[in-house]
Amino acid sequence: MRNFLVTDILRIISHLILSVIPVISVQSFHTFQLQANAKRISSIDSIEDCRRYIGRKNGKDFILLGEGSNCVFVEDYNGEIVIPKLFGKSIEEDNSNFFVDASASENWHEFVIWLLANKVYGLENLALITGTVGASPIQNIGAYGIEVGQFISSVDYFDLTCGEIKTLDAQACNFGYRDSVFKGS
């Protein structure tokens, strides 16, 4: 009778643990599609949502993910995967320039195609590069002699240390070959 009770209690406890620590597959969130789990997957669709992560460190406490085309999960991640869902793009022009604004979650290739449809030229060598607009300055994506950093005048970002939106001009972005101030920060 005593043994029966202990077994039952253990069963209940293990059920409770499984209920409060859901295991979520990240397989469909990275292009290699290897099976791995994370503790949690969340999305952020406003600057207010970003405030939840103030003081936490991308890559350590959570992993920020675009389309997962430059990330591979080879094992379970005991943390939170955060996927921005920030969309929007616009074009303004004066006599000599186009001023293009694009949000982080826009698909990069579709963004390039949209620019061409609007007769804004220059990025066509970068068509078909996988991923999002938001990830493009991180490694300063490039192909066929062109790099996105050549066309970026500034990058807005949410500073996790103080919770403010900040802007870096192209020089401060420190673009190099597949490199920028954002890489590893």
Ligand X SMILES: Cc1cc2nc3c(=O)[nH]c(=O)nc-3n(C[C@H](O)[C@H](O)[C@H](O)COP(=O)(O)OP(=O)(O)OC[C@H]3O[C@@H](n4cnc5c(N)ncnc54)[C@H](O)[C@@H]3O)c2cc1C
**Residues involved in catalysis:** 178
β-pair partners for 165? 158
Counting contacts by CB under 6 A, is residue 132 touching ligand X?
yes
Give residue 68's identity as a one-letter amino acid code.
Answer: G
Counting contacts by CB under 6 A, is residue 137 touching ligand X?
no
- Determine the Cα–Cα distance for residues 88 and 123; give it in Å rounded to an integer: 18
User: Of 50, 68, 175, 180, which lies in the binding site for ligand X, with binding defined by CB under 6 A?
Assistant: 68
| Eight-state DSSP code of residue 113 | H
- Determine the Cα–Cα distance for residues 109 and 130; give it in Å rounded to an integer: 7
Counting contacts by CB under 6 A, is residue 82 touching ligand X?
no
Q: Which stretch binds ligand X (CB under 6 A): 39-47, 90-98, 111-119, 135-143?
A: 135-143
Q: Map tokens 């074009």 to a residue.
A: 91
Counting contacts by CB under 6 A, is residue 180 touching ligand X?
no
Beta carbons of 97 and 120 less than 8 angstroms apart: no
Counting contacts by CB under 6 A, is residue 71 touching ligand X?
yes
Q: Which stretch binds ligand X (CB under 6 A): 16-24, 34-42, 43-51, 133-141?
A: 133-141
Burial class of residue 100, CB neighbours in 10 A (0-12, 13-18, 19+)? buried
Counting contacts by CB under 6 A, is residue 136 touching ligand X?
yes
Q: Restricting to residues 25-44, name those near ligand X by CB under 6 A.
A: 31
Footprint on this chain of ligand X (rule: CB under 6 A): 31, 58, 63-71, 84, 104, 129-132, 134-136, 138-139, 141-143, 178
